[in-house]
Amino acid sequence: MKLIIGNKNYSSWSLRAWIAARAGGFTFEEIRIPLFIPGSRERILSHSPSGKVPCLIDHGLAVWDSLAIGEYLAEKTPQLLPQDAAARATARAVTAEMHSGFQNLRSKMPMNIRKDYAGHGHTPEVDADIARITAIWKDCRSGAGGVGGDYLFGGFSLADAAFAPVCFRFRTYGVKPEGTAGEYLATMLANPWMKEWETAALAETESIPSEDLYG
Ligand SMILES: N[C@@H](CCC(=O)N[C@@H](CS)C(=O)NCC(=O)O)C(=O)O
């Protein structure tokens, strides 16, 4: 298996697929293509028909888009989704909500692990996105009671992978949810795969000026 990803500091979609693959226990070769430099588009297109990362290659099959990659991995490793059918449906719903929504948060608080932009990026629309995300985390954690584990549905699932970049965003922009949502954020930031990604992001030297919104 090969996983094509972008810069670890910036590429939130790449993190979702990468951490799902790690959580599923897959062995994979990582091909990192720094984004938005001469030649990067051609390099991505040589693997990914959409011209975007992430893209998973498994025995010649290309699976692009982080949502499709997560589902593909979960077919091979069912523990990437909750065992209970109702919890599984909710996990898919919140994952899809993250995948298709929260445009205000995405545009004003892009993932940028190396920066400290505490206090930047807030607008009423961004704050509404933050409120919805923390409500999701709280609801999922209260429903996970009794299952065991500190993640949204107990054990680490595709839903946690979907929100992984938001956790880095919250730290960068100084968003500090209270109560259960804050505990969940701390769990995610202490997760060993998150730490591994963060260490690699900090070691990167490329900058994408259009993503460094606040200096
Ligand atoms: N919906 C896609 C989004 C993928 C995406 O937008 N990837 C960005 C990097 S985070 C990309 O490849 N950008 C390069 C480009 O647009 O040339 C997914 O979930 O995988």
Sequence spans of domains, the chain: 2-77, 81-198
Q: What average pLDDT does range 67-75 have in this prediction?
A: 98
86 has pLDDT over 90: yes
- Ligand 1 center to 210 CA (angstroms): 15
Nearest CA to ligand 1 atom 12: 52
- Under the banding of pLDDT at 50, 70 and 90, the label for residue 148 is confident
Percent of the chain with pLDDT over 90: 97
The verdict on the CB of residue 22 being under 6 Å from ligand 1 is no
Cβ-contact 14, 119 below 8 angstroms? no
Q: Is the CB of 52 under 6 A from ligand 1?
A: yes
CA 80, 82, 88, 92: dihedral to nearest 10 degrees?
A: -30
**Rounded to whole angstroms, what are the CA distances from 209 to 15, 108, 122, 212, 215?**
20, 14, 20, 5, 9
67: helix, strand or coil: helix
Measured by CA distance, the residue closest to atom 15 of ligand 1 is: 52
CB of residue 53 inside a 6 A radius of ligand 1: yes
**Topology of the domain comprising 2-77:** Glutaredoxin (3.40.30)
Identify the band that residue 157 occupies on the pLDDT scale cut at 50, 70 and 90.
Answer: very high
Contacts (Cβ under 8 Å, ≥6 apart) of 215? none
Ligand 1 center from residue 7 Cα (angstroms): 11
- pLDDT over 80 at 33, yes or no: yes
> Which atom, in ligand 1's list, is nearest to the CA of 52?
12
Strands (E), the chain: 2-5, 29-32, 55-58, 61-64
CATH topology of domain 81-198: Glutathione S-transferase Yfyf (Class Pi); Chain A, domain 2 (1.20.1050)
